Structure 1
Amino acid sequence: MSRASLNTATVKHASLAEACEVAAEAGFGAVGPWRDVVQAVGAPQAATIIADAGLRASSLCRGGFLTAADDAGVRAALDDNRRAIEEAATIGTSELVFVVGGLPGSTPGGAPSPDVDRDLVATRGRVADRIADLVPFAAEHGVRIVLEPLHPIFAADRAVISTLAQAIDLAAPFAPTEVGVVVDTYHVWWDPALRSSIARAGREDRIASYQVCDWALPLAAEPLNSRGHVGDGYVDFATITGWVRDAGYVGDVETEIFNEQIWARPPAETAATVLARYEEHVAPHL
């Protein structure tokens, strides 16, 4: 169970201290904090809270949103990501997960603005440019940029990277210690090239994080919040976990769930359920 990590998004309404308390009591070895709970107490205090609970930080979520086309938007994105890099270093994780952003002028979960830029090719090019801008600063702080592909239903508004292969291609110009990828079952389980992409990521030493949750139906009104507990949906965790294992990944496994009904449950109950599902569906295949 030492490799199991509770992502704080799974217990969204808990503070960092509360999330660490229930994680430690349940038997997790790590937590994966989001920036909101870190910023609520400040990164130095967040580091203390995590360490005092006997846990480690498996990653920090999230950096990214790199797709701005105007100078002010580019500056704002770079400034925010440099702060995220500093936060990751301070709480003691080398892995900063990036959600790269959707089309400029998109509204997460909503209709496009009148001036939305629909040029996907150019948008992905800007993502590559911004990664190049940030790599030297991240390397100075001992932090790796970890690219997360999102399911194609989120390509317009949240991530113009939709497959693991696309993420690896973006990482390829940089050292594996500088840019890696995350395998998130919710986002990549459907990909017919997933096995070969995971194997490639392993050969290139790019797998920086393995995140698990299930694809549950029906989708919520907000599809982003449709993630289910491991074992409640359609994902083949035995097979995908085996591929990740065979690719040589030996790091932490985060459970990251966005689900209004799960968020409404007591955090201690959720943590216990998450660990039980991890023990049943994931750990035997690592």
Structure 2
Amino acid sequence: MRDLSQDSRWLSINTATLRRQRGAEVPLARIIDQCAEQGVRAISPWRDQVAAAGLEAVGRQLRALDMQLSGYCRGGFYPAADAAGLRAALDDNRRAIDEAKALDAPCLVLVVGALPGALEGKPAYKSIARARGEVRDGIAASLEYARSVGMPLAIEPLHPMQAADRACINTLEHALDLCDELDPDRTGMLGVALDAYHCWWDPKLEAQTARAGRERLLAYHVCDWLTPTRDLLNDRGMMGDGVIELQQLRGWVEAAGYAGHCEVEIFSTQDWWQRDGEETLRICIERHRSVV
């Protein structure tokens, strides 16, 4: 297992972690500058933040600061109520692949979607089997284009609490089954983003992480699961403040061949999004070295 205690070269900050500071939205350009000022050399930005800042401007800033990406958030959300919606999802994912390529991301992370309309409380249908079929077909179509431009796709299984509204792929095993179906030769173009917050509870996690191997483990996200959790979406904990055995999990991930960044992704309406970005970054760096 790598020794992370001496430096931060394998630390990446998912920009959601810093998108709100002291309760206010912060521009992506400022977040990038804050990371660079603290010696963090990798980020994973969100598409809406990139769109607000301008794709070309973000690329120039990253190059000027010699920063790299650990991933790009996000593609996915394939299911739809009708054929026009399915086509629109494929078009949007093609744009996401192009953006990821323009920013030289190592992968595009896919949050695959679930029952269309459920996020707004008005699901168009209730069949999770249908949603999973549309996800499978959508990833297959996106993969064909992704191969042509050389942009790997990373399926992120989400905790079952989000099966209805955000992702109907909820275990690492399920994600890997889909990878094996669509990319049986393990080409490195289709894999997984393993997020500790979403997967820590899974009794099959060690075995499935080993099954994934180097070719499938495209991204690794960390934070912590708080007890009690006050909000199932926006109350993620700083590493070391919760119950996830993070060093054990990283041991499994690295034993399987992963040697990339540990990407900190924290959504925290009541805590970290109320703090100064510099404070949050300082503690991310400290915990990356001591508990990740």
* Deviation (angstroms), 1:69: 4.0
Partner of 2:97: 85
1:149-171 CA deviation, whole Å, 9 max, x = no partner? 00000001110011001111111
The Cα RMSD (Å) is 1.4
CA offset digits 1:168-213 (Å, max 9, x no partner)? 111112144221101100000000000001000016x100000000
State the alpha-carbon separation in 2 of the partners of residues 51 and 252 from structure 1: 19
Match in the other structure for 2:13: 6
Preserved contact between residue 27 and residue 53 of structure 2 (Cα < 8 Å): no
User: 1:48, CA displacement in angstroms?
Assistant: 1.2
User: Match for 2:260 among 240, 251, 259?
Assistant: 251
Structure 1: which 4+ aligned runs deviate by more than 6 Å? none
Gapped runs of 5+ residues in structure 2?
1-7, 21-25
Q: Which residue of 237, 240, 244 maps to 1:231?
A: 240
Given the alignment, which residue of 244, 249, 273 partners 1:240? 249
Following superposition, the deviation at residue 25 of structure 1 comes to 2.0
TM-score, normalised via structure 1 length: 0.93
The answer as to 2:81 corresponding to 1:74 is no
How many equivalent pairs are there? Answer: 276
Give 1:68 shift: 1.3
8 A Cα contact 1:217 1:226, kept in partner: no
* Preserved contact between residue 135 and residue 145 of structure 1 (Cα < 8 Å): yes
Which of the residues 194, 197, 201 maps onto 1:190? Answer: 201
**Superimposed CA distance per residue, residues 190-237 of structure 1 (whole angstroms, 9 cap, x where no aligned partner):** 00000001000016x10000000000122234x110111000101000
Separation of aligned partners in 1, 2:133 and 2:107: 23
Q: Distance in 2 between matches of 1:159 and 1:36?
A: 19
Question: Deviation of residue 106 (structure 1)?
Answer: 1.1
Counterpart position of 2:4: none
Measure, in 2, the Cα distance between the counterparts of 1:83 and 1:148.
19
SS at match of 1:220: coil
SS at structure 1 position matched to 2:233: helix
Identity of aligned residues (%): 43
* Contact 1:224/1:258, CA 8 A, preserved across alignment: yes
Moved more, 123-132 or 18-27: 18-27
Counterpart AA for 1:122: R
How do 1:1-286 and structure 2 match up within 5 A? 1-13=8-20, 14-107=26-119, 111=121, 113=122, 116-172=124-180, 173-174=182-183, 175-202=186-213, 205-221=215-231, 223-260=232-269, 261-282=271-292
Structure 1 residues not aligned, in runs of 5+: none
Task: Provide, for residues 9-65 of structure 1, a one-character-per-residue CA deviation record: whole Å limited to 9, x for no partner.
Answer: 000133222111121222222011111121112222111111222210111101100
TM-score by length of 2: 0.91
1:219 aligned counterpart, secondary structure: coil
